[in-house]
Amino acid sequence: MALEEKREKRPPVAPMMIEEEAALRNGSRGLPPGPWAEAAGPRPRTTERHIAVHKRLVLGFAVSILALLAVTMIAVLLSVRFEECGAAADGPPRAGGNGSLSGVARRPHGAGQPPGRPEEDARGGEAAEEEEEEEEEEEWQRRRELPPWARPRLPRHLRPLHYNLMLTAFMENFTFSGEVNVQLEVRNASRYIVLHAHRMHIEAVRVAEDKLAGGVRVARTFFYPQTQVFVVVLNRSLEVQRSYNLKIIYNALIENELLGFFRSSYVLHGERRFLGVTQFSPTHARKAFPCFDEPIYKATFKISIRHQATYLSLSNMPVETSVFEEDGWVTDHFSQTPLMSTYYLAWAVCNFTYRETVTKSGVVVRLYARPDAIRRGSGDYALNITRRLIEFYEDYFKVPYSLPKLDLLAVPKHPYAAMENWGLSVFVEQRILLDPSISSILYLLDVTMVIVHELCHQWFGDLVTPVWWEDVWLKEGFAHYFEFVGTDYLYPGWNMEKQRFLTDVLHEVMLLDGLASSHPVSQEVQQASDIDRVFDWIAYKKGAALIRMLASFMGHSVFQMGLQDYLTIHKYGNAARNDLWNTLSKALKRVGKSVNIQEVMDQWTLQMGYPVITILGNETTDDIIVISQERFVYDSDTKPKDPARGDTSYLWQIPLTIAVGNTSHISSEAIIWVSNKSEHHRIPALEEASWLLGNINQTGYFRVNYDIRNWKLLINQLTRNHEVISVSNRAGLIDDAFNLARAGYLPQNIPLEIMRYLSEEKDFLPWHAASRALYPLDKLLDRTENYNIFNEYILRQVASMYLKLGWPTNNLNKSLVQASYQHEELRREVIMLACSFGNKHCHQQAATLISDWISSNRNRIPLNVRDIVYCTGVSLMDEDVWEFIWMKFHSTTAVSEKKILLEALTCSDDRNLLNRLLNLSLNSEVVLDQDAIDVIIHVARNPHGRDLAWKFFREKWKILNARYGEALFMNSKLVSGVTEFLNTEGELRELKNFIKSYEGGAAVSFSRAVETVEANVRWQRLYKEELFQWLRKSLTQ
- Mind telling me the catalytic residues? 454
Q: Report how far apart, in Å, the C-alpha atoms of 180 and of each of 206, 843, 987 are.
A: 11, 62, 52
State CA 574 to chain mean position distance: 20
The span from the CA of 809 to the CA of 861, in Å, is 8
Among 176, 155, 154, 175, residue whose Cα is nearest residue 167: 176
For residue 800, which phi and psi values (nearest 5 degrees)?
-65, -40
The span from the CA of 654 to the CA of 799, in Å, is 40
**In one letter, which amino acid is 738?**
F
Q: Report how far apart, in Å, the C-alpha atoms of 819 and of each of 385, 814, 822, 1034 are.
A: 18, 10, 9, 39
The span from the CA of 289 to the CA of 199, in Å, is 10
Residues in contact with 947: Cβ distance below 8 Å, sequence separation at least 6, in sequence order: none
Find the Cα–Cα–Cα–Cα dihedral 793, 796, 801, 804, rounded to 10°: 160
**In one letter, which amino acid is 304?**
S
Q: What is the DSSP string of 391-436?
A: HHHHHHHS---SSSEEEEEEES--SSSEE--TTEEEEEGGGT---T
Residues in contact with 462: Cβ distance below 8 Å, sequence separation at least 6, in sequence order: 340, 344, 402, 420, 422
The span from the CA of 202 to the CA of 424, in Å, is 28
DSSP 118: -
The span from the CA of 431 to the CA of 416, in Å, is 10
User: CB–CB of 276/348 below 8 Å?
Assistant: yes
DSSP 247: E
The span from the CA of 345 to the CA of 332, in Å, is 16
The span from the CA of 479 to the CA of 461, in Å, is 9
**In one letter, which amino acid is 130?**
E
Residues in contact with 327: Cβ distance below 8 Å, sequence separation at least 6, in sequence order: none
Q: Which helix H or strand E contains 91, and what residues bound it?
A: none
The alpha-helical segments, DSSP class H, found in 820-969 are 821-836, 840-856, 866-876, 879-891, 895-905, 911-920, 929-941, 946-955, 957-964
Sign of CA dihedral 134, 195, 18, 242: negative
